[in-house]
Amino acid sequence: MVRFVGVQNAVRWIQATGLETILGELSEYVADDYRRWESFDKSPRVANHSPIGVIELMPTSDGHLYGFKYVNGHPSNPSRGLQTVTAFGVLSDVASGYPLLVAEMTLLTALRTAATSAMAAKHLARRDSTTMAMIGAGTQAEFQAIAVRETLGIRTLRVFDTDPLASAKLVRNLTPLGFDVYVASDSADAVAGADVITTCTADKANATVLTDDMVQPGVHINAIGGDCPGKTELDAAILRRADVFVEFPEQTRIEGEIQQVESDFAVTELWQVVSGTTAGRASAEQITVFDSVGFAIEDFSVLRYLHDKTNHSAFSIDIDLVADPDDPKDLFGFAQGSDAPVPAL
Ligand SMILES: NC(=O)c1ccc[n+]([C@@H]2O[C@H](COP(=O)([O-])OP(=O)(O)OC[C@H]3O[C@@H](n4cnc5c(N)ncnc54)[C@H](O)[C@@H]3O)[C@@H](O)[C@H]2O)c1
């Protein structure tokens, strides 16, 4: 039997454990896997594009466990009452090839993206940061805010979304959790005085959510929403003033903000900072950008974390996903019901 964590059990698990606890522990899982980055099988994700969206497969393995995620990105979905990003994934045993866990990953994607942003901010933002600007107040936004608060202690938020209802939803969700939220009139207003800027918008376009003049020395930017060819958020001039940190350069050069600059544009791989082989922030004036696109190892980390936490709990159930006859060569007999008769419907 394979363990399954569906949406309802994932929600119960989050409520029982607490979002802050999960984001803190998950950041450690992601950091552990970043520290052993070189032991993973890595490739850019496989992306199938359509005019309005993308469906992607994201595999990786550490030689013992294998994980993959199926994820879509359809920025116009909310106008149809659907989510921009949905996902599910699998964790498998490399020795047998058998799946161990199937899980919903829409929630897990929000968790791992936030945990990774917080890990980046821990190494790249100024220690004295007090204010975060959030451009885009959709699905990912609250998770990003809570994860960064867990890491840097920031509770003052300046939010801007082109949809006022999204900003109102964020205020409604975060104010009771102790955040001090200011709703800005535009991006420039949102980033005024901010130490950390998170861009988390969805638009299948080379948008310019931040212009160069909006970015002051010393700022750290988590650029989350530019994650597909032709889908970026930052003015390229910002990248040229900043030090840019990426997940897997081979994927980020195709999908990230750096698709806008030359193919040999200098970047630093975040795993090297996390593992201590390269410096993170070097000065109080430096502008740092985490050009996040989302990489398979982060999904592997969250699947590994979920499996560790729910495998022997009521938050996961058995599903009969794998046909596994007693005689491994007699799948035919199994299909005839000779192995374990299947009850009639
Ligand atoms: N890097 C990663 O690992 C990762 C992971 C998940 C999602 N994403 C990306 O992050 C983005 C946000 O995802 P989501 O699930 O929150 O999407 P969402 O559709 O729920 O929210 C996006 C929000 O951005 C707002 N917006 C669009 N254009 C804007 C603009 N110019 N200025 C201000 N606000 C604007 C929209 O009104 C919406 O509220 C998407 O582009 C998604 O593809 C990246």
Tens-level pLDDT at each residue, the chain (345 residues): 999 999 999 999 999 999 999 999 999 999 999 999 999 999 999 999 999 999 999 999 999 999 999 999 999 999 999 999 999 999 999 999 999 999 999 999 999 999 999 999 999 999 999 999 999 999 999 999 999 999 999 999 999 999 999 999 999 999 999 999 999 999 999 999 999 999 999 998 999 999 999 999 999 999 999 999 999 999 999 999 999 999 999 999 999 999 999 999 999 999 999 999 999 999 999 999 999 999 999 999 999 999 999 999 999 999 999 999 999 999 999 999 877 666 677
- Looking at ligand 1, which atom is closest to the CA of residue 293? 1
- Of residues 47, 206, 78, the one with CA closest to residue 140: 78
Distance from Cα 204 to the centre of ligand 1, integer Å: 10
CA distance 289 to 246: 9
* Strand 131-135, strand 99-104: pairing: unpaired
CB distance 58 to 86 below 8 Å: no
Q: Which two tokens stand for residue 301?
A: 């980390």
Which pLDDT does position 17 carry in this prediction? 98
SS3 of 119, please?
A: helix
Q: State both tokens at 110.
A: 């929000």
DSSP state of 278: S
Would you state the pLDDT for residue 338? 77
Q: How far is the CA of 296 from the centre of ligand 1 (A)?
A: 19
- Among protein residues, the one whose CA lies closest to atom 37 of ligand 1: 163
Residues with C-beta less than 6 Å from any ligand 1 atom = 73, 75, 78, 84-85, 109, 113, 135-140, 160-163, 166, 200-203, 207, 209, 224-225, 227, 292-294
E strands, the chain, are 2-5, 46-50, 53-61, 65-73, 87-93, 99-104, 131-135, 156-160, 180-183, 196-199, 206-210, 220-223, 232-234, 243-246, 268-269, 288-291, 317-319
Catalytic residue among 227, 235, 291, 299: 227
- Supply the pLDDT for residue 204: 84
Burial class (CB within 10 angstroms; exposed 0-12, middle 13-18, buried 19+) of 342: exposed
The strands making up 288-291's β-sheet, listed across from edge to edge, are 180-183, 156-160, 131-135, 196-199, 220-223, 288-291, 243-246, 268-269
> 47: CA distance to ligand 1 center in Å?
18
pLDDT score at 230:
95
In 311-326, which positions are buried (b, 16+ CB within 10 angstroms) versus exposed (e)?
eeeebbeeeeeeeeee
Residue 169: exposure state from Cβ atoms within 10 A (0-12, 13-18, ≥19) = middle
pLDDT at 340: 64
Yes or no: say if 146 and 301 are a contact pair by the CB < 8 Å rule: no
Catalytic residue list contains 227: yes
Q: What do you get for the CA distance between the two ends of the chain, in Å?
A: 21
pTM of the model: 0.97
Phi, psi of 291 (to 5 degrees): -85, 80
Question: Which residue matches tokens 């969250």?
Answer: 302
